[in-house]
Structure 1
Amino acid sequence: MTHEVLIYPDRQALVAAAFDLMVARIHTAVDERQRCTIALSGGSTPQPLYAALAQADLPWDRIQIYWGDERYVPPSHPDSNYGMTKRIWLDVAPIPAANIHPMPTNFADPQAAAAEYDRQILADFGLEAGSMPAFDLILLGMGDDGHTASLFPHTAALSVRDRLVTVGEKDGQPRITFTYPLIDRARSTIFLISGASKQSALGEIFAPTGDATIYPARGIQPQGELLWLLDADAGKDLAIAC
């Protein structure tokens, strides 16, 4: 496993580096496997990255887009990760509609929505139930509390090991999220983290010992490449022992 921490002087440099890495990983996946499967994150940090990717010259018909987590709101809701990505990136780039796979949020029961996305991923990858697909690239963010995707501290989703997708929750509100085992199967996992408010959680995540139930991003241990991309505000005074 490649585990690397890269710190950039500002958010603009961080986004530029993430852009170059994603473009390179996309081309590698398409060259080696004829397609690239990507799971995206929400939040404000990746928005300029998505805007840049919308203008890139990429093999759009070979790229399959998924999401690592989603708030349980309609796509038109301002908090929708899919809705944000659609406006900034997917409505701009010439990617086929059939290649875009948003998490369903129209089920009365979020557990049913999670099960449907689980089934959809397995079908898309041509796998049987109980299998664990390997995404080419999973993009993750991290909250001030150390959560990633919708894996929040001290929540039941952290212990789910037998499914690809489960229900997370924040402040009593359900979310749909990838599980640790699915994230850990990725060929390349990239964290994109910006801002001084992330320093405290990062210090705990990179400490020699710690508890992933308190800082869930610490629990991401992929078999493939793991890159932590930080701006200087987030990475300031970070003592890293990787």
Structure 2
Amino acid sequence: MILRVVMEVETMQTIVEVLPDKNELIARSLEIVLAKIEDAIAQRGIATIALAGGSTPKPLYEKLAEQDLPWEKIHIFWGDERYVPADHPDSNQGMARRAWLDQVPLPAANIHPMPTSAPDPADAAAQHEAELQAFFKLSAGAFPALDIILLGIGDDGHTASLFPHTDALQVRDRLITVGNKDGQPRITFTAPLINHAQTVLFLVAGASKRPALDHIFAPEDDDTLYPARLIQPQGELWWLLDRAAGEE
């Protein structure tokens, strides 16, 4: 059985679904992602999707690798990246390539990884921001509306590389910034960029996420301590939880 709650807050629609297990969570996320890709291509001719790292979305990527899609119309981005080479075991790009992107005829020009080779991560963040501005044909100060942004949360309530009590949480005038995890730099979408998305889809599995979810869903709490609370997109906000994470 799927438990489903739909909430309307001003112009934002939040949909929360609790799935019986992680397999059902992945199956449901595949349905949603395929539907959103189809809608985007029908409306705008292309679909833009930003991927999440971590272990939870990997089976989704493996399922997407099995699909017959108009790959030339799909553009891939990442919501955040560890500051390591693409062939490093910790690279979000590397994981997605192995699980999905290298398995399908996706044009190389349609893959837009975050750069991680500059000596200064701030330079890499600025470079990627310029790439996004050029791709989406943005004027200064404008934000693109990606069709789908996939996210997870950590046990500490972070999402993308927006970690509790870090400077990245305060960035409001940039698309890309430098996150920080225990002194290690990350490149990350800013909260305003995420919030301009047509669809934000959180995939959350495991009982260890329950304490953070309690704070994230609380009517009032500390956004700087639980950064996932900052994600309030102009479009749809989906939370897919397995039973271990969401039964309460």
Would you call these one fold, judging by a TM-score over 0.5?
yes
Opposite residue 101 of structure 2, the aligned amino acid is L
Count residues with an aligned counterpart: 237
Q: How far apart in 2 are the matches of 1:205 and 1:152?
A: 14
Match of 2:194 in 1: 183
How much has 1:2 moved relative to structure 2?
1.1
Counterpart of 1:230 in 2: which secondary structure? strand
The alignment status of 1:101 with 2:116, answered yes or no, reads no
Match of 2:156 in 1: 145
Query: What is the TM-score when the length of structure 1 is the normalising length?
Result: 0.97
Q: Which string of whole-angstrom CA distances, capped at 9 and with x for unpartnered residues, describes residues 172-210 of structure 1?
A: 000000001100000000000000000000001111210
Q: How far apart in 1 are the matches of 2:173 and 2:146?
A: 17
Match of 1:167 in 2: 178
Q: How far apart in 2 are the matches of 1:191 and 1:82?
A: 18
Q: How far apart in 2 are the matches of 1:236 and 1:151?
A: 26
Alignment of 1:82-101 (within 5 A): 82-101=93-112
Alignment of 1:2-21 (within 5 A): 2-21=13-32
Q: Which string of whole-angstrom CA distances, capped at 9 and with x for unpartnered residues, describes residues 17-52 of structure 1?
A: 000000000000000000001111000000000000
The alignment status of 1:200 with 2:211, answered yes or no, reads yes
How much has 1:108 moved relative to structure 2?
0.3
Match of 1:240 in 2: none
Please give the root-mean-square deviation of Cα atoms over the aligned residues, in Å. 0.5
Q: Find 1:65's aligned residue among 52, 64, 76.
A: 76
Match of 1:32 in 2: 43
Match of 1:110 in 2: 121
Opposite residue 92 of structure 2, the aligned amino acid is N
Opposite residue 55 of structure 1, the aligned amino acid is E
Q: Structure 1: 5+ residue runs without aligned partners?
A: 238-242
Opposite residue 188 of structure 1, the aligned amino acid is T
Q: How far apart in 1 are the matches of 2:94 and 2:140?
A: 29
Match of 1:228 in 2: 239
Q: How far apart in 1 are the matches of 2:140 and 2:208?
A: 40
Q: Which string of whole-angstrom CA distances, capped at 9 and with x for unpartnered residues, describes residues 120-143 of structure 1?
A: 001001112211111011000100
Opposite residue 127 of structure 1, the aligned amino acid is L
Opposite residue 138 of structure 1, the aligned amino acid is I
Counterpart of 1:177 in 2: which secondary structure? strand
Q: How far apart in 1 are the matches of 2:33 and 2:70?
A: 13
Q: How far apart in 1 are the matches of 2:133 and 2:211?
A: 37
Match of 2:3 in 1: none
Q: How far apart in 1 are the matches of 2:85 and 2:140?
A: 28
Q: Sequence identity of aligned pairs in percent?
A: 61
Q: How far apart in 1 are the matches of 2:84 and 2:141?
A: 28
Question: Does 20-29 or 119-128 show the bigger shift?
Answer: 119-128
Opposite residue 104 of structure 1, the aligned amino acid is P
Query: What is the TM-score when the length of structure 2 is the normalising length?
Result: 0.95
